[in-house]
Amino acid sequence: MAATESDPIALRGFELLPEPVPSEVLGAKPSMEVWALRLSGGSLREILAAEPAYGGWETKEYVFALPLDVMENLARTLTQVCEQRRSVL
């Protein structure tokens, strides 16, 4: 299942774990710290069409390898968005 603008993936949960993935596999320096971002979710379209009591939508797992600098940039960006939204509300 690929996410598109017309059918995005709804995030159900996530887990962030240090992974023993050799950073050389990612084309990085051997000393680079790499983490695994595990996301679970499903098609937003399926969720909206599912029976609420049944919860009958398929959940998929996605795993992304994140170098530490990318993870820090993601955290900064998410924090900025949350702070901006809080100030609007």
What confidence tens digit (pLDDT) does each residue in 18-55 have? Answer: 876 666 666 666 666 778 889 888 888 887 887 665 56
Distance CA 72, CA 9 (A): 23
Tell me if 37 is assigned to some domain: yes
- Domain total of the chain: 1
In this structure, are residues 46 and 57 in contact, taking their beta carbons and an 8 Å threshold? yes
Tell me if 2 is assigned to some domain: no
Tell me if 4 is assigned to some domain: no
- pTM for the full predicted model: 0.65
Tell me if 64 is assigned to some domain: yes
Tell me if 50 is assigned to some domain: yes
Distance CA 7, CA 35 (A): 27
Tell me if 24 is assigned to some domain: yes
Tell me if 57 is assigned to some domain: yes
Tell me if 32 is assigned to some domain: yes
Distance CA 40, CA 68 (A): 21
Domain that residue 22 falls in = 9-88
